Amino acid sequence: MSEYPYADRFPINRTLPEEGRPREEVMAQLQAMAKEEDALWETGKCSGTMYCGDHEHYEFLNEAFGLFAHVNALQRDMCPSSTNFEGEIIAMALDLFHADTVADAGAGPGGLVTTGGTGSILHAVLSYREHAAKHRGVTMPNLIKPETAHPAFDKACHLFGVELRRAPIDPVTTGVDVSWVADHIDENTVALIGSACNYGYGTIDPIAELGALAGGRGVGLHVDGCLGGFILPFGEELGYDIPPFDFRVPGVTSISADTHKYGYALKGTSTLLFRDKALRDSQYFFLTDWSGGKYCSPGIEGSRSGGLLAASWAAMVQLGRAGYRRYAQAIFETAEAMKAAVRSHPELRMVGRPSFLFSFTSDVFDIYHVNDFMRRRGWRLNGQQYPNALHMAVTRPQTQPGVAESFAVDLADAVAHANEHASESPASGAIYGGVAGGINDEADEFIRAVMAGMLDKQMSLPPGHPG
């Protein structure tokens, strides 16, 4: 990837141009960028990232988005459609996760539409903190998550002053160690976390056990279904081994599920669902004595585009259960074929008990030798550590004819390459070579520099560059 993307092809704007460029010229640049970048995932060789991959579907969503893109969902008196879209999205998601089975909630089930998985997790942690402060007098809250749960929980705890306790996992199943969790709950614990499924290994934590523990100890249980929420229910309907993880499980008090992943909506939407609206309502913010008037916001965000609500609603009602089930069947079947290819090599070992997403490693050679070779064949797998492993989240692009077969052929060649070069250091291992033994100050500074580079590169082109 270029250190200064597109700097050699298009003008670089460091100041607002005095005169604007013609729309045709602007669109030509955007179309060139989009076409080239789409080509990277259209092959089906990219893990995750593009969950739908259907340009006709994207065109449909863009049309729906465009009708309401300029609308501010915060101002419902002017755009009551946002109330319609958001309410129906929440209702459909609650139905998917069996909120109809809830009989023990005071105010009944409810939810929020947020800006993504991190947004849903942030709102969940804030809700648990505020609810525990109000109803249990907790002033020094803590939260317990599996080590494998998403880093957004770490971010939320950092932002909201909640102590995070990371539970180890069972090395065989990669599910959370429930006994450890039980031993570390105290009077300040506001919630437990379980994943369905986790990002790293595609593992569903033992939600039933966590639910019984949470209910017995009087704490909440949030199920993070941001990744799997809109595909696992349909896998269960199709007969795959998907244990209940939703509101059917006593003790589950909230669920996050991203519409912008396997919900096939546009990026920037997720759902956060609660067994009891009282928990959701605890995180509302309002200011009644501001000179500008009475201010209230149901979530952390203020202004939001009504277009995202419209597009998410459109995706869900256009696909329906049958559409989601059909796509899920193709994804699960493809995942099974790709997992079979991995298991056919004795040098490779599957990690944990995967679902539509799987991770594999090797006890014979550094798995990053496989990664090096697969990159040459155009594959973009996600690298992991502790242990070094490669991860494949199967999405609709992989269900194209011939992709699973290509994976099997390329993987076989990659294993042969890895065996041949086992005594050498893999090239891609250097990506986090300084981090492999554990995060240190040097690694922290390197990561800060990488993130800053994403934001600042175009501002720091070499002197004399035509941009």
Task: Say if strands 382-384 and 357-362 run parallel, antiparallel, or are unpaired.
Answer: unpaired
Closest CA to 37 of 1, 8, 63: 1
Round to whole Å and give the CA distance between 129 and 254.
14
Nearby residues of 316 by Cβ (< 8 Å), 6 or more positions away: 88, 89, 92, 259, 263, 265
pLDDT, residue 7, reads 87
98-125 pLDDT tens trace: 999 987 667 899 999 999 999 999 999 9
Q: How would you label 390-411 residue by residue, b for 16+ Cβ within 10 Å and e otherwise?
A: bbbbbbbbbbeeebbebbeebb
Round to whole Å and give the CA distance between 228 and 256.
10
Predicted confidence band of residue 297 (pLDDT cuts 50, 70, 90): confident
Whether residue 72 is predicted with pLDDT greater than 90 in this model: the reply is yes
Round to whole Å and give the CA distance between 416 and 433.
24
Round to whole Å and give the CA distance between 245 and 97.
9
Round to whole Å and give the CA distance between 18 and 434.
46
Overall average pLDDT of the 290-304 stretch: 87
The string of DSSP letters for 309-362 reads HHHHHHHHHHHHHHHHHHHHHHHHHHHHHHHHHHHT-TTEEE-S--SSEEEEEE
Overall average pLDDT of the 266-287 stretch: 94
pLDDT, residue 428, reads 85
Round to whole Å and give the CA distance between 286 and 284.
7
Query: What is the biggest distance separating any 2 CA atoms in the chain, rounded to whole angstroms?
Result: 72
Overall average pLDDT of the 255-266 stretch: 98
Round to whole Å and give the CA distance between 265 and 316.
8
Closest CA to 193 of 234, 159, 225: 225
Whether residue 10 is predicted with pLDDT greater than 60 in this model: the reply is yes
DSSP 457: G
Round to whole Å and give the CA distance between 138 and 452.
37
Whether residue 261 is predicted with pLDDT greater than 70 in this model: the reply is yes
Q: What does pLDDT average to over the chain?
A: 92
Q: How would you label 75-111 residue by residue, b for 16+ Cβ within 10 Å and e otherwise?
A: eeeebebbeebbeebbebbbebbbbeebeebeeebbb
Q: What percent of the chain has pLDDT over 70?
A: 91
Predicted confidence band of residue 299 (pLDDT cuts 50, 70, 90): confident
Predicted confidence band of residue 95 (pLDDT cuts 50, 70, 90): very high
pLDDT, residue 434, reads 35
Whether residue 298 is predicted with pLDDT greater than 90 in this model: the reply is no
Q: Where in the chain is the domain with CATH 3.40.640.10?
A: 80-314
Locate 184 and state its tokens: 């570390």
Round to whole Å and give the CA distance between 451 and 445.
10
The string of DSSP letters for 58-117 reads HHHHHHHHHHHTT-BTT-TTT-HHHHHHHHHHHHHHHHHTTGGG--S-SS--EEEEESSH
pLDDT, residue 269, reads 97
Cβ proximity of 196 and 165 under 8 Å: no
204-231 pLDDT tens trace: 999 999 999 999 999 999 999 999 999 9
Least confident piece of the model among 92-96, 190-194, 275-279, 446-450:
446-450
Query: Class of the 80-314 domain?
Result: alpha beta
Round to whole Å and give the CA distance between 209 and 216.
11
Q: Where in the chain is the domain with CATH 3.90.1150.10?
A: 321-429
Whether residue 430 is predicted with pLDDT greater than 50 in this model: the reply is no
Locate 336 and state its tokens: 């099974």
Judge: domain 321-429, CATH 3.90.1150.10.
Answer: yes
Overall average pLDDT of the 313-319 stretch: 98
Overall average pLDDT of the 162-166 stretch: 98
Whether residue 435 is predicted with pLDDT greater than 50 in this model: the reply is no
Beta bridge partners of 72: 305
Overall average pLDDT of the 165-191 stretch: 97
pLDDT, residue 446, reads 63
348-360 pLDDT tens trace: 999 999 999 999 9
Q: Is the dihedral of CA 175, 176, 178, 179 positive or negative?
A: positive
